[in-house]
Every structure is written in structure tokens, then in C-alpha cells.
Chain A
Amino acid sequence: MPTAPLSLTASPIEAAAVVRMAEGDAPDGRFGAIATFVGTVRRENVGRQVAYLEYEAYEPLAVKALSLIADEVAGHWPAVRLAVQHRTGRLEPGEASVVIAAASPHRAEAFQACRYTIERVKQILPVWKREVFAGGEAWVEGAIADPSDEAARQAAYRCACG
């Protein structure tokens, strides 16, 4: 397992390891809540049977994007400690593509920070997935990656705190 709390990895992600990274070296009992999000590969997408997904990343920028998201989280929820791991390479249905852990003294901040983080990951992280299904393949395309898009940031915050 990689040891950096914000990173990409070509190996299977173990959620418990990401939780441990969020806890870091904080003394036992400092956090009263750790919210986790595990994104997994769905077998069916827009009516298609997914054989597997192939994730590609622009890794040096992706690591910086994760740092940027962590800074935004720190701005909104200063007590939260965040860890994020995103997979690259070929993933079978059911495998974890992203794991987020947000540790906090209280649950409300942990849940909010965790939700905010996955929304921002989907908006700006330079990662792309190619879906291979029975009879074809297609790149999945979502948001235009613009970290300075204030409307997108606010939308993520509303999702988290709605």
C-alpha cells in the first residue's frame, strides 16, 4: 500500500489503510468520527454491462489536485484530517476506484468533508475512465477540470452541507 495520505495507486485499495492514514499519528481518541467513502466499479452503466474500467491519470497534476482539495477542506473544516487514494489501471466490477477517509472530532464535519471531497474529485481530478463493455468501449467524460470555477466549488459545498 502507498503511504502518502493523498495519492494514486495501481494496486488494490484497502479502505482500512486509508482510514489509518487519515488518523495519522494523532493520539488515540483525538477523533470521535471517521467518515469513509468507497467508490466502486458498477457492473451496469447507462444500460450497458460493464466488463471492466481502465483508469488513466495525469499523476503529477492529480497529486496537486488532491492537495488543493485537502486545502479547501481544511478551510471549511479545520479540525478534519483527510486521506484519499485513487486507483489507476484496469478495475473489475466491484473493485474500489477511490477511497476517502475524513477524520474529525465530530461526525457532522467528517460526513460533510467526505462528501465535499468526492464531489471535488469528480469535478477537477485529472483522471479518466474508459469503459469496456460487451460490444464496445467508450471514454466517460464528466466535468471540465477548472479548480478556479467558483460555481463548481459552491455546488460541491452545497452537496456536502445541503
Chain B
Amino acid sequence: MRVRITIRLFARLRDLVGSGRLIRDMPTGASVETVWQALVQEFPAIAASRASLAAAVNAEYARFETRIADGDEVAFLPPVSGG
């Protein structure tokens, strides 16, 4: 069984990947970390970003161990620079 999710990327991550929105299928039981690892497989240039990364699921801050479900929106947030 697979779940279909939307991945959102911002700022430098979006530039590295070349898109701010991707649709991908993940295995059932996948976590935010699983999604990130799949993304790194596909786009190795982003690997070094993991150390300074935050995440959100369905526009709520989330930890990397958070489980994802079909239809979720998983966002990866590089260090922020508002203000």
C-alpha cells in the first residue's frame, strides 16, 4: 500500500530541487523523515540541509518522526529569515 502526498519546498530548498510542490507516493507507515530521505535520493544536492531543517504536516509544525497519511501536505522549512 502507498500513500500519495504533496511535498512543499521553500527558499533555497525550492531552488535546489527546481520546484516548490511535488506529488510523490510513499510507503504506508512513512514518517516525515521517510519523505525527506526519499527526496534526498532523488535530489542529492539537498542532503546537507537536514541539519538545519524544520518540517510541517498539513500546515502545522511537525517532528520528523511524525507519521504521514494519504493526502497530507509535508513541508520542509530551511532556516527562516522573516522580519
Contacts and interface: CB of A to CB of B under 8 A. Distances in A.
Interface of B: 8, 10-12, 15, 52-54, 56, 59-61, 75, 77-83
Chief secondary structure at chain A's binding surface:
mixed
Given A144-B54, A145-B61, A147-B61, A58 B75 contact: yes
A57 B80 CA distance: 9
Contacts, number: 90
A64 B11 contact: no
- What range describes how many residues of A lie at the interface? 20 to 34
B80 A146 contact: no
Contacts of A55: 82
B61 A144 contact: no
Interface in A93-121: 97-98, 118, 121
Interface string A120-162: 0111111111100000000111111111100000000000000
B79 A61 contact: no
A142 B11 contact: no
